[in-house]
Structure 1
Amino acid sequence: MKIQRITYLSLGTNQGNKLENLQNAINLIDDTIGAIQKISSIYKTPSWGFNGNDFYNICLQVSTTYPSETLLSKLLSIETDLGRQRTNNTTYQNRNIDIDILLFDDEIIFSKTLTVPHPKMLERKFVLVPLVEIAANVVHPLEKGPLNICLQNCTDSSEITRIPDSLKRPISISEKYNYIAIEGNIGAGKTSLARMLSEEFNAKMILERFADNPFLPKFYKDKERFAFPLEMSFLADRYQQLIDDLEQYDLFKNCVISDYYIFKSLIFAQITLQKEEYLLYRKMFDIMYNEIAKPDLYVFLYQNTDRLLENIQKRGREYEQNIEASYLQKIHDGYSNFIKTEQTLNTLIIDVSDLDFVNNHHDYKTIINKIKKA
């Protein structure tokens, strides 16, 4: 599990559309750095150390998994993306965006590129006032006192005015959803995505226990004989696992992410079972399905058949190597019918045929943004 760190950032702008500059920076920080937990009010202050337009200043509380030097690098990239042009001039200048790291947990950092706590933060009301608004009782690592006391001791006499405008805080996935189910065909990447999301958002992870099913290898060798015991054992295990895990609230996890939804049992059973077997199976399924909690978001990963076969071959499970394209198409048709008819689920379909979200961070962020906006 990645370690979540709390960092406090100061943002300032005095050029162009200042509200838009701040909101764009907030959105990029949320997309690339981590979840924004708090945003201060906006404070207008005169330019510091030079003659220029008034600044709009805010502070953010951000949860991030990045180490401090990586965080700095990404913040500099955000400034560049938003049009900031740095020069060798050491004097203060107008800028469309300026982002500084004020605090990084309770760490004290002195490196060639970064000093934390920010060495000038205690001298500047345009930093301390918005910071105290969101972190009054946070202790300054060097001063050994809370920030609200640091503000009282600040000798800066600059005028600072809170303005009535406000900024929108992006809502993180773990705040928006309590339970997310990731689904897809065999080899679509649902388990990989569930693992990645669970790690990033500190979620409780529920993974299907297919490897423990003794009927699965036998089924791929003799489908007619082992279809019914396979589907019944999967149904019983999925039901028990979801009942147990969804009812146990974990104080240290933000949400639940699973790599399957129990309805997949019915989809596969429709394909593999004979008519009489399916009718019996359906009676059992309906009883169990009514007792299972429904996900807040049902994500279906679509992969074209060629990519599915390629992924199945790559992961090298011996009992899967003889899976045919026609069998994958039947599974896809089953999911399609389910999605069309199950109107009670909040469903998001993502085509990942041309995405490599495991190895390409940009592709992974594309999926996260789709989930955020679902």
Structure 2
Amino acid sequence: MSNIRSVTNVARMLAKRPFRVSIEGNIGSGKSTCIKFFDKYPNVEKHPEPLNEWRDVSGHNLLGLVYSDLNKWTFPFQHYVHLTRLKIQTSPPCSPNITVKMFERSVQNSRFCFIENARKHDILHDAEYQVLNEWYTYVEKNLDIGLDLIVYLKSSPQVVWERMMRRGRAEESEVPLEYLQQVHDAYENWLSSPDVGCEVLTIDADRNLDAVLEDLERYSYKILGGNHTN
């Protein structure tokens, strides 16, 4: 694990890139709210999930399609998600004053959380899984996609299911609690792995919003890169 971190840190310094922070968590765990908390920092470039891109791929709502039929649409959806995350994660900062790049979920999340979950539950055929894995392996070897910190908004599936029902996104209306449990388990497996590749800061996201925001304030020095410099 230390070797992985060293490689990531060297690559970051050589590229003179911003400190990369991925906000991770289940559907409804508060990722968007977490990112908005850092609006007050002008040195932070923030990227919520590109939902509108997923809803209109030349007229096709891939987000709606994947929720309507996971078995049929997970493969093309994950292909496109991988592309959009890759663009966000590797694009140069919008300003020379940007020292932190923060985004909602990551390329690594797609590969080690959602794709692994789809394989485990036979949502992806093995051939589809291998194609997506080859995509990720090529990208990892040829581009700097390294993360410097993961902020994990850890939540209970029942809690996020209730939140999801309250916010009422059309595409999420038929997402079962069972699927949220699967995503939760996939997160736990990924982020407890010794090969996760960077530090993981875990925040209890089952609590009320004020408590979560207090933690974000408390750990803001770490989340914003601490003593890391370009």
Same fold (TM over 0.5): yes
Distance 1:333 1:259 in 2: 19
Distance 1:205 1:321 in 2: 27
Distance 2:79 2:212 in 1: 37
User: Is the 1:207–1:259 Cα contact (8 Å) retained in structure 2?
Assistant: yes
Q: CA deviation at 1:350?
A: 0.9
**Quick check: which has more Rg, 1 or 2?**
1
The residue identity in structure 2 corresponding to 1:335 is: Y
Q: Aligned with 1:263: secondary structure?
A: helix
| Compared CA separation, residues 313 and 254, structure 1 to 2 (3 A) | same
The unaligned stretches of length 5 or more in structure 1 are: 1-176
The residue identity in structure 1 corresponding to 2:110 is: S
The unaligned stretches of length 5 or more in structure 2 are: 1-17, 55-60, 119-123, 224-230
Q: CA deviation at 1:327?
A: 0.8
Map of 1:285 onto structure 2? 136
Higher helix share: 2
* 2:66 aligns with one of 219, 231, 235: 219
1:263 aligns with 2:116: no
Q: CA deviation at 1:320?
A: 0.3
Number of aligned residue pairs: 191
Q: CA deviation at 1:193?
A: 0.5
1:250 aligns with 2:102: no
Map of 2:203 onto structure 1? 350
The residue identity in structure 2 corresponding to 1:308 is: V
Map of 2:47 onto structure 1? 206
What is the TM-score normalised by the length of structure 1? 0.48
Percent of aligned pairs with the same amino acid: 21
Distance 1:225 1:363 in 2: 37
Distance 2:213 2:74 in 1: 35
Q: CA deviation at 1:277?
A: 1.0
User: Is the 1:348–1:371 Cα contact (8 Å) retained in structure 2?
Assistant: no
* 1:187 aligns with one of 28, 50, 60: 28
Distance 1:323 1:306 in 2: 12
Map of 2:86 onto structure 1? 239
Map of 2:19 onto structure 1? 178
Distance 2:140 2:163 in 1: 30
Larger RCO (alpha carbons 8 Å, 6+ apart): 2
Higher strand share: 1
User: Is the 1:201–1:254 Cα contact (8 Å) retained in structure 2?
Assistant: no
Distance 2:136 2:98 in 1: 30
Distance 2:200 2:62 in 1: 31
Residues 116-145 of structure 1: per-residue CA shift (max 9 Å, x gap): xxxxxxxxxxxxxxxxxxxxxxxxxxxxxx
Q: CA deviation at 1:353?
A: 0.5
Distance 2:131 2:147 in 1: 26
Distance 1:292 1:207 in 2: 20
* 2:160 aligns with one of 308, 332, 356: 308
> How is 1:21-32 mapped onto 2 (pairs within 5 angstroms)?
none
Distance 2:51 2:129 in 1: 21
